[in-house]
Chains A and B, each alone.
Chain A
Amino acid sequence: MSIDKTSSARHAAVDAPGAAEGAVAAVDPRLLVQQEGIAGYVTEFKRKIKAGELGSIPVIVGLILIAAIFTSLNSNFLGPGNITNILVQMAGTGLIATGIVFVLLLGEIDLSVGSVSGLSSAIFAVLAITHGMNNILALVLALASGAVAGAIHGFFFARVGVPAFAVTLAGLLFWNGLMLQVLGPDGTINIPSDNVVYKLEGYYFSDVAAAYILALVAVVIYFWTAFSQNRRRQQAGVPARPVSDILMRTVLIAIVAFGVAIIFNQYKGLPLAVVIFVGLLVITDFVLRRTTYGRKVFSLGGSVEASRRAGINVTVIRITVFMIAGFFAALGGLFLASQIAAANQGAGAGNLLMNSIAAAVIGGTSLFGGRGRTWNALLGVLVIISIQVGLGIQGVAAPIVSMVTGAVLLATVVIDAITRKTQRSAGRA
């Protein structure tokens, strides 16, 4: 990355301002343009490693390590049943972590998501099962409760100016108390197997075709969007990816999609929980990276002052981000209730809050705002649930699981801190 040292071209442009537009070549030779083909990937990869842009590499390496270690201990770890199990179990915590990614992008934190998730499951169970309300209506109200809780946090943070840490800490206590109040003296409400929430994690598309068709649709949509985007870039005359690049990525995605589909079909079929989780990740990723709303979230994470001067309504964005976090916490809570087929007093307690924040961070979302993707939530939660399930198979007790998860989180933030240092020295922090 060299800055312009040759000033003759610029002076020429000053002398003849009318000719400036035509005189400047469309492509600057110093641009960081990737070479075509495999060689281009290798040089690009080397440059990224040197500059400390590890992205998702540490997490993926970590996942491979985890898989290798647990498979060597027990060959069933990578069996279709266990993989399906891990992927279904991760949906609840993963959805909560998705909401956390939004809040972390602002450089803030939401400590209330565990309690909000518990409250949502309690509200649903009481309305739908105790009072016999229409299931869908009860589901909508439970999700709305999460968004309302988030709006309250957002109001006190964005309008009143209380630190998000303190507001959501108060929320943690308050919503947990409200959940216990809603559940009443019984404490536990079982969710029958014909209930819509039970089906969130309990339903599988047993038809073999379902998984394959979905995989095919995903691959085709990916290829089509990438391809048409590229065509638009070419038509507009801005640098576009080589077609070989798009094909390579498509093949990679096809391998993952069909590989997972085959594994699902060897067990019970395509789990509904995975469809919803991945579908929501696609939507949230699109919202964050391709819409004006997402751009505003990122810009707030980068510089509040710059955002304000650019005319962005800071208060509205902050409140809506906390609403999104609350909504996803509520949705995750319903998935977790589905997992144990009950809403009980322990919902949202224990390690849930810390696991969901850890998942977002392990996945690669920066704690300092402005950097991250919702896919980070999937990678991070995959690490955490894999460790839990793997150690569970080995019969390792919960205290050890907690300690191992803590160590992994520490390792992640250490890697994050080191790469940030490297990035700073490479001028990319």
Chain B
Amino acid sequence: MTATPVLALRGVSKRFGAVQALTDVDLEIHAGEVVALVGDNGAGKSTLVKTIAGVHPIDEGVIEWQGRQVSVNRPQDAQHLGIATVYQDLALADNIDVVGNLFLGREIRRYGIVLNEVEMERRSRELLDSLSIRIPSVRIPIASLSGGQRQVVAIARSMLGEPKLVILDEPTAALGVEQTAQVLDLVERLRARGLAVLLISHNMADVKAVADRVAVLRLGGNNGVFDVRTTSQEEIIAAITGATDNAVTRRASRTAEVQK
């Protein structure tokens, strides 16, 4: 793990009209690390992801990219830095085959306008092989693939831009056991390649399985960053629901300090 994080958020705030969506949020992600971002509905996970992805520019705070302060105001800014985001609704065209979807919007061309299908197919196979992704054929329409296969295709597509940070928004939601395992395997392979991965998830089992650290958001603010290996699932859930932050626990911690 390098000393300088790939991405660091310092005191980030975001407001939508009267709603304070994010308050003074800090987050650090290092290369070769999977950070899970968890929190209850409305905790600000999606807003935070969108500020990193450039969909919503931040109001206050600092975004640092590899130690350098940057401004991310448009999705293109994030892409240029090397941030790839895979949203929950995947955004694949069902009627186009796997190769076409991988290269949608950045087709390899010959003579300026003619599709270079051969080169795109070769690069697709290379990419899928290097990620150990197995699909029946790269020439079948996306409609023929299972949910898990679509998810890995969407993640593979994000890899074409050679990003340094990949943001996965609920990649295992609505997937079966086998398919979830496929996606989690892929997440581990991304980490092995030295990428930083920000994983948004509701599923504690997934988080425990692949994440190195867990950042908990609650009501738009930080509610702790935990090391997955040394933290129990109950502690994380308590941080998400705020069970640790009520009158009872505050009193308990006060009395504990007094006794020291």
Contacts and interface: CB of A to CB of B under 8 A. Distances in A.
Interface in B98-141: 100-101, 104-107, 109, 113-115, 117-119, 121-122, 125, 129-132, 134, 136-137, 140-141
Interface in A203-233: 229, 232-233
A293 B94 CA distance: 18
Contacts of B136: 1-3, 30-32
B201 interface: no
Contacts, number: 134
Contacts of B121: 233, 236, 238
B143 interface: yes
Given A9-B132, A305-B89, A295 B96 contact: yes
| Residue of B146, B148, B181, B188 with most partner-chain A CB within 10 A | B188
A428 B143 contact: yes
A229 B93 CA distance: 25
Contacts of B87: 309
A175 to B, nearest CB: 31
Place the interface of chain A in its size category.
Answer: 35 or more
A17 interface: yes
Given A14-B189, A32-B140, A293-B113, A306 B118 contact: no
A299 B185 contact: no
Contact of B132 (A24, A30, A305, A311): A24
B243 interface: no
Nearest to A105: B95
Interface string A376-415: 0000000000000000000000000000000000000000
A310 interface: yes
A134 interface: no
Interface residues of B, number: 48
B129 A238 contact: no
B188 A14 contact: yes
Contact of B92 (A295, A301, A306, A312): A306
A295 B132 CA distance: 27
Contact of B189 (A13, A292, A306): A13
Contact of B122 (A14, A238, A293, A312): A238
A301 B95 contact: yes
A7 to B, nearest CB: 7
A289 to B, nearest CB: 8
Nearest to A4: B134
Leading 4 A-B pairs by shortest Cβ distance: A310-B105, A302-B93, A370-B95, A17-B192
Interface of A: 1-5, 7, 9-11, 13-14, 17, 20-21, 24, 26, 28, 30-32, 229, 232-233, 236-238, 290-293, 295, 298-299, 301-303, 305-307, 309-312, 369-371, 427-429
